[in-house]
Amino acid sequence: MTKVRNFVEITPNLPFSEFIFYELYRETLEKIELGRMKKLLPLHEMAESLALVSKSMMPKRGRKSYFTPEGKVALMFLKMKTQMSFPKLMEELNGNIHYQMFCDILIDPVHPLTNYKLLDDIAAELAGSLKIQELQKEHYSLRRVKARKKETERLMEQQLAEAA
């Protein structure tokens, strides 16, 4: 009977397997579509443009948010990608570890999130930062410019046809 064993032989039996468990999920997240999408999305820049990231060093008052600013933006991308209602998305978020990692949150299975209004409040917070009316005006003016350009091209083609 040996009293000394190689550390490599006993590490799988140590109670730190939770870290290895989550590391495996992180590796698989990188290989699936959701992980590739997360790599491509500029989540921090989007959170800054929506004024979710505070530039000041003053700590915010009130209860700490479950989601990071980047996680809030990622959550809305997840909602858009899955086309789920908030109650259904909450259920999937509680049960799907890849969805949780996409949104930078780990939910304790013993204490899952139960109030889908949390997700609704995040959507309302982001919608308040979007300045929809300004974007609609810009979109409308771009459509008018494109229509004028198309009309000008049509008139030029008509004049060229008449000249030929």
* pLDDT tens track for 78-133: 998 999 999 999 999 999 988 998 988 888 888 888 888 989 998 888 888 777 67
Q: What is the pLDDT of residues 54-80, one digit of tens each?
A: 665 556 677 777 888 888 989 998 998
Domain locations in the chain? Answer: 14-53+66-130, 131-164
| pTM, two decimal places | 0.64
Closest CA to 73 of 122, 131, 34, 121: 122
pLDDT tens per residue, range 129-157: 777 677 677 777 778 888 888 888 888 88
* Paired tokens of 78: 């997840």
